[in-house]
Structure 1
Amino acid sequence: FPEEEEKVGAAGCMEPNVRFWIAEHQSFVRRFLQWTEILDPTNLVISIEKIEKSRQLLFTSDDASRPDSRDHRQEAWKRSLSTVHPDSSKLIPVLFRPAAFLPFMAPMVFWSMMPARGLKSLILPQVSLYAYTSAFNIINGNASYSRHPVEGLFLGTGAFASSAFFGLIPYLAQMKYPLDNLLIKRALPIIFIAQVSGINVFASRSFEPVRGIEVMDKEGNVIGLSRRAGRKAVRETALSRAVLFGTSALIPEVFTYFFKRTQFFLKHPPSLWSMKLSCTILTMGLMAPLSFSMFPQVGRIQCAKLEEDIRSSTEETEVFYHRGV
């Protein structure tokens, strides 16, 4: 990570993760490189003690000019950004940290795109895929609005059930009405997984556009709750998720199409599935940081586009909001 202390300085008691994303440059390449660090699987095994020490370091500015201190702070930024939720300042459960996304989702996407050999092999992949996706979206979404735990449970259940149902549609349709056109037969699941993944974000985070999310100035001072900022945050995340899953499903299918015509496949047919799994993991390994960095983690929005009560309560022309992952 860059030497952020030279840019952010001392910003009071502002949440360090929010302070980082507000101060950070907005270039896509910069965000992409940062997400490759945050998605490092080793972030799943960081002890609570190390996380607490890293957070304490980020709340201080003593000896920030020393080279060894600067290295420690860079590591502290990585630990904090990968394990602590920017809105609540609480630890993200290990299984739902951004670094867990690829190890869990790559096998699920591969499994969900496999030809169904029965009702059980048809339902289980979709249930697993959207159960994890719904929980991930809720836990890593914006948490600045008020909600009761029971509401979150019902919201997650509804998002999971509806997504799994829509994800099953192309496979159920093919079982009842077999398609002769191979292109359409393979394209339908790809189109559905991209669209349903985006819709799942809207469903999982549907409270944000309704109740509004916090918007803040560059110093981190909360100005108010904005429904329009909530809609923008959810819309951007849904688009990035659709790109992630759509591309991760498309590329392996393309490679599979050409691989089936090689001499190696004709001699070793079982190699098809290992090739497709490897291709899915590699594609998602590239697409995960790319999709997460499509939009800034802390976005900006013009005050003129927000509600009247927010416009009248600040002289800022531009405010910030946490988009969520």
Structure 2
Amino acid sequence: MEGNDDGSRLVSDVPKINIDKPRWDQTHYWGRARHFFTVTNPLNILKTSGELEEARQIVKSYKAGKEIPGLTVDQLWNAKQTYDSAFHPDTGEKQIIVGRMSAQVPMNMIITGGMLTWYKNPSTVIFWQWTNQSFNALVNYTNRSGASPITMQQLGLSYALATTAAMTTALGLNRTVKMFSPLIGRFVPFAAVAAANAFNIPLMRQKEIFSGIPVLDQDDNPIGESTVAAQEGIRNVVISRIFMAAPSMMGIPVVMNHLEKKGVLKRYPWANAPLQIVLCGVVLVFATPLCCALFPQMSSIAVTRLEQELQVPAWLLITSSF
């Protein structure tokens, strides 16, 4: 496996490295987690245009078989990870900053912090839920597949329904939970985000639901398209997205409710929003990659669960869970 090579060795001294695949073994959770820590590393958004172009040239040259004097294995992988953080994997186009995977943590810490801070007033609830779904739509558009692109109609429909689901859930639950403890009210934003994900992701992947995704046999030969496999893959995506939001949107309300009971927020009301945003950032730095890694991109499925015509020894190709 590529990740086992001594990183200090020159690439000219090791066998050809397949940099189109992740550096670490994706059949194990920690290997997937290490991969996604590099993919979602927020420091990558600080890379200059010059650094991004240098990384792009290294990746292009290595793939073309050109010799790069003095390049080590670690430098090659760092260039690949920098390249992946800014350029579309299919088209090679540079992505807008806020839509990149490396922008997930800084953008979500602000948005999640806003949802957790201003969760009572209907107007602020509407604003932050709309902002969250607008950001999700931008990320979906930026990272759309080059081979099977998302249509504007599909994107618009999922955006509208997810936004409606989030707002309806948040506003409806806010009215319902008034009779319960204040802590319960702080969990409403999480319920709204979970409801929106349940709508948004299946709508964005509806083509796969109806047409299926490729199923491969044990020798990586395609044997057909499976809607059963697609449904399982999409279910895994929904689960990982909800788990990703849970630590910050369930844990931080407990902390803030405790501070409120102790009178800290009353003495320092200005600290409410900044504290929640910072806490969200700390949690999301870890929750984002760790939850992206919950399910492998290439997963197996029991043959008996596939459609009748596909029931041969097979492996399932599941698209990315992020």
TM-score, structure 1 normalization: 0.78
Does residue 169 of the first structure (1) align with residue 173 of the second (2)?
A: no
Q: Check conservation: 1:144, 1:214, Cα contact below 8 A.
A: no
Instruction: Name the residue aligned to 2:235.
Output: 235
Instruction: Name the residue aligned to 1:99.
Output: 102
Overall identity of the aligned pairs, in %: 16
Instruction: Name the residue aligned to 1:29.
Output: 30
- SS of the equivalent of 1:93 reads coil
- Map of 1:58-207 to 2, 5 A cutoff? 58-59=62-63, 68-86=71-89, 88-91=90-93, 93-94=95-96, 95-115=98-118, 119-137=122-140, 139-140=142-143, 144-145=147-148, 152-173=151-172, 179-182=178-181, 183-207=183-207
Instruction: Name the residue aligned to 2:8.
Output: none
- SS of the equivalent of 1:123 reads helix
Structure 1 pair 158–120 and aligned structure 2 pair: CA distance change class (3 A): same
Structure 1 pair 220–78 and aligned structure 2 pair: CA distance change class (3 A): farther
- Superposition deviation, residue 318 in structure 1: 2.6
- Superposition deviation, residue 138 in structure 1: 5.1
Q: Check conservation: 1:213, 1:230, Cα contact below 8 A.
A: yes
Residue 113 of structure 1 aligns with an amino acid whose one-letter code is: L
2-structure distance, mates of 1:80, 1:222: 29
Runs of 5+ unmatched residues, structure 2: 6-10
Q: Check conservation: 2:170, 2:192, Cα contact below 8 A.
A: no
1-structure distance, mates of 2:138, 2:145: 13
1-structure distance, mates of 2:172, 2:224: 47
1-structure distance, mates of 2:108, 2:58: 28
- Superposition deviation, residue 98 in structure 1: 0.9
Residue 106 of structure 1 aligns with an amino acid whose one-letter code is: M
Instruction: Name the residue aligned to 2:271.
Output: 271
Q: Check conservation: 2:55, 2:83, Cα contact below 8 A.
A: yes
Q: Check conservation: 1:102, 1:284, Cα contact below 8 A.
A: yes
2-structure distance, mates of 1:128, 1:37: 26
Residue 127 of structure 2 aligns with an amino acid whose one-letter code is: L
- Superposition deviation, residue 134 in structure 1: 2.9
- Deviations 1:247-287, CA, capped at 9 Å, x for gaps: 22111101101112336445323323322222122122221
Q: Check conservation: 1:63, 1:69, Cα contact below 8 A.
A: no
TM-score, structure 2 normalization: 0.79
Tell me the C-alpha RMSD between the 2 structures.
Answer: 3.6
- SS of the equivalent of 1:323 reads coil
Instruction: Name the residue aligned to 1:52.
Output: 56
- Deviations 1:107-146, CA, capped at 9 Å, x for gaps: 111212333575542322111101211332454366544x
Q: Which moved more, 1:219-228 or 1:241-250?
A: 219-228
- Deviations 1:220-244, CA, capped at 9 Å, x for gaps: 7655443333222211111100111
Residue 171 of structure 2 aligns with an amino acid whose one-letter code is: L
Q: Check conservation: 1:55, 1:76, Cα contact below 8 A.
A: yes
- SS of the equivalent of 2:299 reads strand
1-structure distance, mates of 2:169, 2:273: 21
- Map of 1:211-226 to 2, 5 A cutoff? 211-216=211-216, 223-226=223-226
1-structure distance, mates of 2:93, 2:304: 35
Q: Which moved more, 1:187-196 or 1:125-134?
A: 187-196
Structure 1 pair 73–303 and aligned structure 2 pair: CA distance change class (3 A): farther
1-structure distance, mates of 2:142, 2:198: 16
Structure 1 pair 226–135 and aligned structure 2 pair: CA distance change class (3 A): farther
Residue 254 of structure 2 aligns with an amino acid whose one-letter code is: V
Q: Check conservation: 2:214, 2:316, Cα contact below 8 A.
A: no
- SS of the equivalent of 1:295 reads coil
Structure 1 pair 117–307 and aligned structure 2 pair: CA distance change class (3 A): closer
- SS of the equivalent of 1:2 reads helix
Does residue 320 of the first structure (1) align with residue 317 of the second (2)?
A: yes
Q: Check conservation: 2:292, 2:321, Cα contact below 8 A.
A: no
Q: Which moved more, 1:281-290 or 1:92-101?
A: 92-101
Q: Which moved more, 1:35-44 or 1:109-118?
A: 109-118
2-structure distance, mates of 1:97, 1:216: 30
Q: Which moved more, 1:100-109 or 1:298-307?
A: 298-307
- SS of the equivalent of 2:117 reads coil
Instruction: Name the residue aligned to 1:38.
Output: 39
